[in-house]
Amino acid sequence: MTAPLVEMKDMCISFGGVRAVDHVSVDLHPGEVVGLLGHNGAGKSTLIKILSGAYKADSGEIRIDGKPVTINSPRDARTHNIETIYQTLALADNLDAASNLFLGRELTTPFGFVDDDAMEAETRKIMGKLNPNFKKFSAPVKALSGGQRQSVAIARAVYFNARILIMDEPTAALGVHETQMVAELIQELKKQGLGIFLISHDIHDVFQLCDRIAVMKNGQLVGTALTHEVSDDDVLGMIILGKCPPHATPGPGALVDDTALG
């Protein structure tokens, strides 16, 4: 097997006294969807924010295509073709869809001025593919529905030829139909060979979309498993109790259960 697209090894970060991410190692291959699971506060968002450059890890190593990289800022992450859909969406509410889509990467005219018309045209194009119902191109995103805002955030992540896509609860604000659209999009991107970290609370989504899962609890990795080798109950046991089922690879956070051994 070739080197993984992304390897995060032994990542640690604490805020004050809280060890938000505690010696976590995960990896991701091209064309693979890895589900990150765990309770609220388990450290999932924090872990992926290290990869997206929002936080700087206290220790640990990140490799991309087998080569160690340093990611000190969101800009660094972008140069490695890492794109992120944040749980909070990270949209500037007062700007329109096109300004948000191109924020930090504006298209400019030959004189160096921002080219709003070109950006709107590109936004119309990609929205036509992702969410054909989207019509409010000149309104600030504040005026959009939850689903429309989500589609702006998704459009921003997929527009710039991502190789590594991070989706932090991308369907949390969506209805059934829109959730289905996101699922189809994930499958399409997977076919194109992107590696995707998907954080989700919906076990059904996870089983439908993910090749592997990684479960976190209290900042630690409980374990990783191939989705088709574990059951719903196994996964729930990992999330709730931190108990690693037989087919999973245990991590530092796995419950060491003496009584189970008899």
Distance CA 197, CA 220 (A): 17
Task: Name which of Mg ion, ligand ADP, other proteins, none residue 150 binds, using a CB cut-off of 5 to 8 Å depending on partner kind.
Answer: none
Distance CA 225, CA 127 (A): 35
Positions in 36-95 near ligand ADP (CB under 6 A): 38, 40-46
Among 45, 99, 123, 200, binds Mg ion (CB under 5 A): 45
Stated length of the chain: 262
Instruction: Choose among 157, 178, 158, 170: nearest CA to 201.
Output: 170
Note whether 251 binds ligand ADP by CB under 6 A.
Answer: no
Question: In the complex, what is the shortest distance from the CB of residue 41 to ligand ADP, in angstroms, rounded to a whole number?
Answer: 4
* DSSP letters for 64-90: ETTEEE---SHHHHHHTTEEEE-TTTT
Positions in 58-87 near other proteins (CB under 8 A): 73-75, 78, 84, 86
Task: Name which of other proteins, Mg ion, ligand ADP, none residue 56 binds, using a CB cut-off of 5 to 8 Å depending on partner kind.
Answer: none
Among 54, 69, 172, 255, binds other proteins (CB under 8 A): 54
Positions in 135-164 near other proteins (CB under 8 A): 135, 137-140, 142-143
Task: Name which of Mg ion, other proteins, ligand ADP, none residue 84 binds, using a CB cut-off of 5 to 8 Å depending on partner kind.
Answer: other proteins
Distance CA 221, CA 217 (A): 6
Distance CA 260, CA 262 (A): 5
Nearer to ligand ADP, 97 or 167 (CB): 167
Among 46, 99, 150, 179, binds other proteins (CB under 8 A): 99
Question: In the complex, what is the shortest distance from the CB of residue 72 to other proteins, in angstroms, rounded to a whole number?
Answer: 11
Alpha helices per DSSP H over the chain: 44-51, 74-79, 97-101, 116-130, 146-159, 176-191, 203-209, 232-241
Contact predicate 213/35, CB 8 Å = yes
Q: Interface with other proteins by CB under 8 A: which residues?
A: 52-54, 73-75, 78, 84, 86, 88-95, 99-100, 103-106, 108, 112-114, 117-118, 120-121, 135, 137-140, 142-143
